[in-house]
Structure formats: structure tokens, C-alpha cells
A and B are shown apart, each in its own frame.
Chain A
Amino acid sequence: MEMRGIVVLLLGFLGPSQAAVAAVSVSEILAVIEAIEEHHIEPPTRQEMVLAAAREILRTSSVSGIGDITPKVNAQLSSTISQLVSKDEISVFLNSALADARPELGQQHVARAIVRASRIHGRQVSARISREQDDRVAEQIKDNRYVGIGIRFAQFSQPDVGHGFSVLQVMPRGPAYQAGVQANDLILSADGVSMIGVKQQKFLSSLRGKEGTNVAIEVQQSNADEVRSYTITRAVVPRVVIEGWSEKSPTEWEYLMVHDIGYVRPLEIGSSTVHELKRIEHGLRDFKEVIGFDLVIDLRQVGAATLTHTVMLADALRRWGRLGRMETRRGEVIYESDEDRLFPNSLIYLLVDGSVSGYAEWLASVLQRDNQIQVMGTQTAGYPYADTEVPVSDGKSVTMPTTVLKSHDGPLRVTLDLKPGSDSVPAGVALAFQQKKNRRPHGLH
């Protein structure tokens, strides 16, 4: 059977909003400027942002056509905009500039241009504007508590049948996996309604539903005659946020490596990370009949992270003391750790390299103050900033650096306690550092 190229994640949203971008308005541009002024950790001046917006408008306007702006025009723009002080003056200016803007010029383009004007210590920073994912499914994915049957699907078309949907992947922790649904199963019906030839939206709404509710599906392997029926109860399908050393089974990781050392690799630091680590610790307790053993935490693959959950993870792993500081435009917050610590009798090695930045770098910095935790690897990125999604207008948000991450006693600093090749590096830790694996596709999006 021939698969059409469109692969959609049943479990996920359809990626960042792909909706057609509406023509940008003055109020939308001003909303972005105000958000940056209010939240960006080192915002450009208002005039710099207006200039960036004006250049983008001019560059794509129907008058000048898409292309570079001449130095003369650029100088005139700078001169004009530097005279603008009040919000009203800026509004009038932008209104006139937008008169000739192309209809497809959207808030996205202008915001991107404005944010490009933002630099931290001469270093250009990334930022993006996106529609807030405020629907239920997006919220569930963000919280790692997506409710469904736990499959990814693909759309197929067949000359004699028409189009339909087949199972691309069965999520190991999901109810479909427990029921026995397999990859490449064709989904024939849901709750007695044929799924052949239906639109994708209808297919999705048939399979999705509230936690605890049932859906009856009929599936068939493409090369088999047998039709299999399952009644599946929709449940939370958590994605794996911490990987171990090797996969014992599709649903279970082995967290012990050779040399009796534990190994965990966080892929993200989110709402489920601390819980997952507790679960791993609990599972390892029987090992050596004591709680104590050395543990490697590989920070080199950390992707998305949030402030709240990074602080909670640091608190969970460190015993005692001041964790570190985070500075925003509103001031500085100092976080402290309590006396509880996961893996209380373990010596912990944090693996780092140049890819470790932001929250993961802050985590390494604050954890190495614990005398039972050592940092091993190569120098971290030295990027002590964290991004936040700030709402702007019309359900959209702009992501920008809003937080400066600091150690408890000064700027963010990660010192290498152990370097690769050093004789003092335990053999298991050295092996774990060498075995940096490519990040596998995981999760729900």
C-alpha cells in the first residue's frame, strides 16, 4: 500500500500555527514592542525597534519591492524615527509606513525583525512569535499528560479503497499498546463508524475523548485478512522524558550500566521530570540493597526546559543550601534547596559539553556546589539566558530572553571537576561520556 507523504501526529497538535498570516496592524506592532520593552532582559530602545519594523515594512512594500534598502533611505529612516518620542507619533508614523505594505506582511515578519534588533552583549538572540497553543490538546502535551489511545498515524490512499488511516507508531506507554494495536494496522472503524474515506478531522474526533472513556476500533494488517477488534480506554499517555542506558523493552529502560553505575539522560525538564526521576530512584533501591550507588546524569541532551521545573529538579537533587539566582526585569529571585535529596547516598556525575546552555547549564552550576556532585566533560556554552513566551495580542505570543541565570554568588559559571581522559574519572563515567548517542525522535511532537 502506498503511503501518502502526509504524516500527522495523532497525539500532537499540528505544529506551530500554520494559519494564513493576517496583515499586520499598528496595534499589533506596538503590542510586540511593548512586550519586549516590558519583559526582554536587555531590550533595545523603542526607536531601534520601530526602525527595525519600518525597515521590514519598507523592504517588503509594494512600492520598493522586496530587496535591500539603500543606505540613503536607511539614513533617512533613522533620522525620522529618532525624532519620534510619544506613542502617538510612532503610531502615525507606522500607519503611514503600512499604507503601502504588502497584504501578506504579517505580525510574524515584523516581530521577527524587531526581535532581531535585540542583542545581549552584542550577541544576537533568537526569538519567535507564535499563536498561543491554548486548546486542550496542546495544554495536555505541554504538561505531558496527553489523553488518548496513544498512536501516531499516517494517511494513506489506495486506488480501489480511497483514503484512510493507518498506525504509524504505537506509543509504548499508551492504552493502544496495552491492547495489542500494532504498527501498520489499518484503522477500519471507530465505534462502529467506518474510517475509510472520512476526513482527518472526523477521524481525530472519533479517536480522541475524555480520560476513562472507551473507543471500540477495528484494525487489520495490510497483508492479512484477519480483522481485529479492540475496546480501548482512553488514558494519559506520558512521553518518556528521561532515558536510561539501554532499552530493556519498548516500555522499559535499563538505568544501570556496567561498573554498577546508574545512568539517566533527561530529554527535557518539564512538569513530569522530577516524578520520573523519583520513579527511577525507587526502582533502583533494591540494587545493592541500599540506596547508595554512583549515578551519571547526562545533561547533554536536554531540550525544552522551564524555570519552575528546573528549580524543582535542582531542589530534588541537591541537599541543602542556596541554589542560585534568576534575574528578570522585575527583580531577582533567589532559590534555595531543602534537605531532601533524591539518591541521597549516591555520588552524582553530571556530564556536560558545549551544547549545554541556559537552564541545563544553570542546573549544572547550582548542583556542583553539592559536595556529592561532580561535573565531568568539556566546557559548557556559557549562555546564561532563558527564554519565555510572553503573550502579546490576539492570542499570540513572542518568545524572548527574559531571565538571566546566575550562580548563588555571581555570574553563571560551570567549573569542570573532571575532564575527559583524566585518570580520576571512573571507568563507567568515562564510558558514559564517550557513548553520547544521537538524540532519538521521542515524545509526542
Chain B
Amino acid sequence: MWPWRFNRRRIVVRTAFINIILALLLVIVGVVQSQERQPVSIALDSETGHVYVANRDSGSITTVNLEARSIVGERKVGQQLSCLTAVPGSTRFLATDEQANELLLVDPERILTRVPVAESPVKVIVSPDGRQAVVASLWSRRLSFVTIDGKWLEVNKVIPLAFSPRELCFLEQDRIVVVADAFGGHLAVFSTTATNLRVSQRIPGHNIGGLVAHPEEGLLAISHQRLRSVANISIGDIHWGNLLGNHLRFLNLKDVHVMSRSLMRDGWLDDLGGPSNGAGDPGAMAVTPSGHLVTCLSGAHAVEIISPNVADSVRGPVGRGPVAISVVPETNLVVAANRFSDSLTLLDVPAGKVVETISLSDDAPSPTRSQQGEALFHDATLSLDGWMSCHSCHTDGHSSGELADTLSDGHYTTPKRYSLASGCSRNRALGMERER
């Protein structure tokens, strides 16, 4: 009786089952295809006009045609890239692989060579003549001096440091290199000719996110944060920037060259952002030909543009988590790499306007829960006025070496001061294990 009805039900069940399987397959394929890249470093080829982007999570380098505003290609070259920089006078690039502990020499077509360097290389800079490179290795606290000879790399000298380095900057062409602490406020100045330490001092502050020389002004600009242990953990002290400040520090280059002189003797400190307009997590910087100083505010998802007369500054919108920035040669345009939105932003600096946003993924990435957590950890817009992210005090989930009266309840009881997070090892703090 009514057999067609029975058959129809079976058909419906079968169809639904097949649909579910297909949907699951699509989801799996989609996840693979839309894996987050997390661009963390960019290098420009002035001859081709291409931008090369080092992707941290995919270990790949993406080539972008800036003029066409399109992706030319993507090539996996390592496990976890941390830095990419052009070798002047050539079409080659140096890249650091933080996971494989390698320094790579690559060109647009292939990997030319790999050399092992001290554990966890996070930054590499190349001298203007393209012959020498310096690599900062975070957890091993090492500075490696590398000779670039055509297609070959040779590590000449490895110097131990008293702190974990990250940011590097050449001064006086390549005769001096400044090394900055990745967590605290240490600065060290090395002579590259004798590879010896000239100055080692500590600036009041932590989270040094960027170093950039401004030779015309005779200045070295440093972006960093400062946590004041005497401040209260209160809305008022956060709002007015008393608890955690985001700063640009300017050092006079003359002070950097003189041994035993205070680096801060003729320098000064400026605030980035202000009440109701916090500038959480200042990082990489660039100086345009027009003299504008552009600073990535990686927690505020913006860049701060300071005009040459330093009288005013404007906020330029970019993607989520801008961590790297480069000036497009012979223009006043900059390219910013947005780590947590897998994109590049091309910005007209004097106008403070976005020219183009270029996505590095074909479709919207599907970040894993760890990646989502990592993005939230670095998001200052979640805090009051955008002054700070979790990362601001717990640098990369570790300690910045600063103190805060975290249970602030006035000064008439025992101050309850805790070192913020613990651990200075490679172990991921705060349970930030990655899903791969």
C-alpha cells in the first residue's frame, strides 16, 4: 500500500546523507584552502615594483604586483617565517625561519641557500652595500653577523646578549647596529667592524616595537610602551595614560655614538594617542620621502602619521594587527602588512587615506581557535580607549619585566605587586599552544 511513499522516504534519507558528506568535505577543503597566513614582514623590489610578504603561519612568501594590486604567486619556503628583507643591489631577499632556526637567501624563483643560525631568529637586517647581514635570535639571545657573498651566506661571528633581542637598526651606513630588547627596555649598540659592544643601556619602558633612523634629523626613533608601577589600576589612570603609555622616543644620534654617555641625554619622549584615543601596541615604523613618520599601532588596527613639523598627527586606518610597514620607493605611499586580517594596505601618507586593500587569501580565512585567541590577545580595541592589549603587559604571553599594582586599592595597605606573567623561556605562556 502506498509503496512510493516508502521509497520516497528512503530517497530523502539517502540524499540527506550524501549532502552531509559533501558538506563536510567542502568544510574540510575550505579550511585547508583558507588557512591564515599571518603576514609579518614585507620587502619591496624597487625594480619590479613587487612586494614580497613573509607569512608566519603558512611559512610562505607571497608575491604581490603593487601596480596591478594583485597577487602574482605564493611559495612555501619554510616553517614559520619571522622576517624578510631585500638585499640591496640584487633581486634577492633574506628570510628568517623562526621554527627551523635558519637564515634563507631567496630570489623570486627559488631558494638559493639556507644556513643554520642561533635558535629562534626573529629579525634580519642587511647593510646598504648588500654584503653584511645581522640576525637577532630571540630565545638563544644571540646576535649573528653574516657575510653575503653572491649566492652564499656565511655566519662569521655570534655574540651572546644579556637580553632577548628583536628589533635591529643599522646606523652610519653599516658601521653601527642598534639592538633592542624584545620584552624589556634594553638597548645595545655594536660596532659592526670590530663586532664589539659599545653601549648597553636601558630606557624607561618595554615592548620596543620599532627602531628607525632619521639621519636627516640626526635622530633614532623608538616605538615602545611604558607601564608605571606607581599608577593605580583605575579607569582614571588608564584613561589619562598614567598606567600604560604608548610612546615614541627620539634619541640624538650623537648620543648613540659616544660610549658611556646616556643614550637619552639629548632625547625626548612623545606620547602616541591620548585620552579616548589610545594607540595600543606601537610597532614597526617608516619614514617617507616627505618626512612623515609612520608608526604601526598593531593593537589599534591603525597607523599613526606624524607630519614633519611634529605639530600634529593623524590616524590612518589599516587592517587588523599591522605589524610591518615599508615605503614604496620614490613615493609617499606605504604598504602595511595586517597580520590578523591576512591583507596588505596601501596608504597615501600625506593624505592619511587608504589607496587599496589587497587580500592575501582567495577567500575569507577560517582561523583556528588558537589563531582567534592570538588575535584577541593582541587586540587593544577591546580595552578602555584602546590603550593596551593583553600583549602590552604580557609580551607575547611572557613577562615584560615590569611591575604593576594589579590589585590597586589605595596606598594605605600593603601594595600587592606581581610580576606580570612568568617565564622567559621558549615555552608558550598562558596555554598558547598552536593548532597545526
A390 at the interface (CB under 8 A from B): yes
Label chain A's interface by main secondary structure. mixed
Residues of B contacting A145 in the complex (Cβ-Cβ under 8 angstroms): 235-236, 239-240, 275
B234 at the interface (CB under 8 A from A): yes
B-contact bits for A57-93, CB 8 A (1 contact / 0 none): 0000000000000000000000000000000000000
A343 closest partner in B (C-beta): B268
What is the bound-complex CA distance between A374 and B130, given in angstroms? 53
Determine which of B203, B271, B413, B414 lies in contact with A278 in the assembled complex, contact meaning CB atoms within 8 Å. B271
Stretch with Cβ within 8 A of B (4 or more), from A214-222, A255-263, A305-313: A305-313
B-contact bits for A261-287, CB 8 A (1 contact / 0 none): 000000000111011001000100110
Q: Is the CB of B412 within 8 A of A390?
A: yes
**Given A39-B412, A388-B411, A402-B412, CB of A344 within 8 Å of CB of B268:** yes
Determine which of A270, A308, A312 lies in contact with B411 in the assembled complex, contact meaning CB atoms within 8 Å. A308
Residues of B contacting A143 in the complex (Cβ-Cβ under 8 angstroms): 234-237, 239-240
Q: Is the CB of B311 within 8 A of A308?
A: no
What is the bound-complex CA distance between A291 and B236, given in angstroms? 29
B266 closest partner in A (C-beta): A344
Q: Is the CB of B237 within 8 A of A286?
A: no
Residues of A contacting B271 in the complex (Cβ-Cβ under 8 angstroms): 278
Shortest distance in angstroms between A257's beta carbon and chain B's nearest beta carbon? 22
Stretch with Cβ within 8 A of B (4 or more), from A150-158, A334-342, A435-443: A334-342
Residues of B contacting A335 in the complex (Cβ-Cβ under 8 angstroms): 230
Q: Which residues 235-251 of B sit at the A interface, judged by CB distance below 8 A?
A: 235-237, 239-242
Determine which of A238, A308, A390 lies in contact with B231 in the assembled complex, contact meaning CB atoms within 8 Å. A308
B232 at the interface (CB under 8 A from A): yes
What is the bound-complex CA distance between A286 and B311, given in angstroms? 8
B359 at the interface (CB under 8 A from A): no
A403 at the interface (CB under 8 A from B): yes
Q: Is the CB of A339 within 8 A of B242?
A: no
Q: Is the CB of B231 within 8 A of A312?
A: yes
**Given A143-B239, A145-B236, A308-B230, CB of A339 within 8 Å of CB of B414:** no
**Given A344-B268, A390-B412, CB of A312 within 8 Å of CB of B242:** yes
Q: Is the CB of B410 within 8 A of A388?
A: yes
A-contact bits for B404-428, CB 8 A (1 contact / 0 none): 0000001111110000000000000
Determine which of A275, A282, A330, A340 lies in contact with B264 in the assembled complex, contact meaning CB atoms within 8 Å. A340
Q: Is the CB of A144 within 8 A of B240?
A: yes
A139 at the interface (CB under 8 A from B): yes
Residues of A contacting B236 in the complex (Cβ-Cβ under 8 angstroms): 139, 142-145, 270-272
Residues of B contacting A308 in the complex (Cβ-Cβ under 8 angstroms): 230-232, 237, 242, 411
A229 at the interface (CB under 8 A from B): no
What is the bound-complex CA distance between A335 and B415, given in angstroms? 13
B274 at the interface (CB under 8 A from A): yes
A348 at the interface (CB under 8 A from B): no
Determine which of B268, B311, B415 lies in contact with A291 in the assembled complex, contact meaning CB atoms within 8 Å. B268
B35 at the interface (CB under 8 A from A): no
Residues of B contacting A142 in the complex (Cβ-Cβ under 8 angstroms): 236
A184 at the interface (CB under 8 A from B): no
**Given A275-B275, A311-B230, CB of A338 within 8 Å of CB of B239:** no
A346 at the interface (CB under 8 A from B): no
Q: Is the CB of B234 within 8 A of A312?
A: no
Q: Is the CB of B413 within 8 A of A330?
A: yes
B-contact bits for A198-229, CB 8 A (1 contact / 0 none): 00000000000001000000000000000000
**Given A139-B235, A339-B204, CB of A271 within 8 Å of CB of B412:** no
What is the bound-complex CA distance between A285 and B311, given in angstroms? 9
What is the bound-complex CA distance between A291 and B240, given in angstroms? 23
Total interface residues in chain A, CB < 8 Å: 41
Q: Is the CB of A236 within 8 A of B230?
A: no
A328 at the interface (CB under 8 A from B): yes
Shortest distance in angstroms between B53's beta carbon and chain A's nearest beta carbon? 36
Q: Which residues 82-131 of B sit at the A interface, judged by CB distance below 8 A?
A: none
**Given A275-B240, A309-B242, CB of A340 within 8 Å of CB of B275:** no
What is the bound-complex CA distance between A262 and B228, given in angstroms? 28
What is the bound-complex CA distance between A389 and B240, given in angstroms? 22
A139 closest partner in B (C-beta): B235
B262 at the interface (CB under 8 A from A): yes
B241 closest partner in A (C-beta): A275
B368 at the interface (CB under 8 A from A): no
Residues of A contacting B410 in the complex (Cβ-Cβ under 8 angstroms): 388-389
Q: Is the CB of B411 within 8 A of A307?
A: yes
**Given A236-B276, A308-B232, CB of A330 within 8 Å of CB of B239:** no
**Given A291-B268, A308-B237, A330-B413, CB of A340 within 8 Å of CB of B204:** yes
Shortest distance in angstroms between B251's beta carbon and chain A's nearest beta carbon? 11
Shortest distance in angstroms between B146's beta carbon and chain A's nearest beta carbon? 34
Q: Is the CB of A274 within 8 A of B412?
A: no
B269 at the interface (CB under 8 A from A): yes
Shortest distance in angstroms between A65's beta carbon and chain B's nearest beta carbon? 39
Shortest distance in angstroms between A403's beta carbon and chain B's nearest beta carbon? 7
Residues of B contacting A285 in the complex (Cβ-Cβ under 8 angstroms): 310
B405 closest partner in A (C-beta): A308
| A211, A271, A278 — most chain B CB neighbours (10 Å) | A271
Shortest distance in angstroms between A147's beta carbon and chain B's nearest beta carbon? 10
Residues of A contacting B413 in the complex (Cβ-Cβ under 8 angstroms): 330
Q: Is the CB of A340 within 8 A of B240?
A: no
Residues of A contacting B412 in the complex (Cβ-Cβ under 8 angstroms): 39, 328-330, 388, 390, 402-403
Determine which of B240, B264, B274 lies in contact with A274 in the assembled complex, contact meaning CB atoms within 8 Å. B240
A-contact bits for B282-323, CB 8 A (1 contact / 0 none): 000000000000000000000000000011000000000000
**A-B interface, 8 closest residue pairs, ranked by CB to CB distance from nearest:** A143-B236, A271-B236, A338-B204, A275-B240, A271-B240, A272-B240, A339-B264, A307-B411
Q: List 30 A-B contacts (CB under 8 A).
A: A143-B234, A143-B237, A143-B239, A145-B239, A236-B275, A270-B236, A272-B236, A274-B240, A275-B241, A275-B242, A275-B274, A282-B270, A285-B310, A307-B411, A308-B231, A311-B230, A312-B230, A315-B230, A326-B411, A328-B412, A329-B412, A335-B230, A338-B204, A339-B203, A339-B262, A340-B264, A340-B269, A344-B268, A388-B410, A389-B410
* Extra 17 A-B pairs, beta carbons < 8 Å, given A271-B239, A271-B240, A291-B268: A143-B236, A145-B239, A145-B240, A211-B276, A271-B234, A275-B275, A308-B230, A308-B231, A308-B242, A309-B242, A312-B228, A333-B415, A339-B262, A340-B264, A388-B410, A402-B411, A403-B412
**Which positions in B face A, CB cutoff 8 Å?**
203-204, 228, 230-232, 234-237, 239-242, 262, 264, 268-271, 274-276, 310-311, 410-415
